[in-house]
Amino acid sequence: MQLNLDNFDKSIVVPFSTIDWPGKASMVVFLRGCNFRCCYCQNYKIWGAAPPIDVDGLLREIRRNRDYISALIFSGGEPTMRPNLLQSLAEEAKKEGLLIGIETNGAFPEVLDTLIDAQLLDALFIDLKAPLSDPQKYARIIGIGNANAYVEKITKAINIGCAALAAHKILEFELRTTLFKGLLSQNEITEMVNQFGVRYALQQGRAEMCVQRDLTTLTRDEIVELAAQCGRPLRIRTREKGDEDIC
């Protein structure tokens, strides 16, 4: 299905997606600016400083497509870097009866706490980059010198998500890791998958779209093999077959 955006900035909106929130028809809004410089980022063109967003235009598009979607997802960049804009857009989307999801790197747990307390968040998707036990590895993947403070914040964000899900304050919580050959070992993936016991998705990276050009995409079969060795049910997400549950 193709939904039109007239003259709105198409680089920050996907009007119709069934991938970002599996099982939901959603509109995805990419808020510009990010505190990380991940080697496999596909959205590196919106890393930089964010120009003013046409909020009124965006709200018109949300309302115009309301009959085709059930959810609004904020992604980026890193959407929680712009908490005031994020909250105001979520409030308006809630008035339209839409569910709200956030795709985040987890570096701003206080923003998630605020949104949950205000009943403005229904689904939380955190992209876990590396084992939290290894800040140096985390730093290499996210392209910064020291990740110790970020590891603490991400751990807090995950605990916030776990508590909110257990208290039925949000509907869904998923940890996600994007995979490329040689970036993470089997032991590292197993550690990440089993640390928190929440739903976990291993995602197939697309090397041709990454900022770092020497990465190699894993096949679906290779991801199935990695998932099978983790010792618990997992979800995998690939171009070949979309979402699959691996027991």
Spell out the per-residue pLDDT of the chain, length 247, in tens: 333 344 445 558 888 888 888 889 999 999 999 999 999 999 988 888 766 678 888 888 889 888 999 999 999 999 999 999 999 999 999 999 999 999 999 999 999 999 999 999 999 999 999 999 999 999 999 999 999 999 999 999 999 999 999 999 999 999 999 999 999 999 999 999 999 999 999 999 999 989 898 999 999 999 999 999 999 999 999 999 999 999 8
Measured CA to CA, the distance from residue 58 to residue 35 in angstroms comes to 24
How far does Cα 138 stand from its chain's mean position? 17
Measured CA to CA, the distance from residue 233 to residue 24 in angstroms comes to 22
Is-contact 154 107, C-beta < 8 A? yes
Counting Cα atoms < 13 Å in the Cβ hemisphere of 207 gives 12
Measured CA to CA, the distance from residue 222 to residue 233 in angstroms comes to 16
Counting Cα atoms < 13 Å in the Cβ hemisphere of 140 gives 7
To 10 degrees, what angle do helices 135-142 and 148-166 make? 100
Give the single-character DSSP code of 115.
Answer: H
Which pLDDT belongs to residue 57?
A: 85
Model's pTM, two decimal places?
0.92
Map out the domains of the chain with their CATH numbers. Answer: 10-246 (3.20.20.70)
Measured CA to CA, the distance from residue 34 to residue 29 in angstroms comes to 14
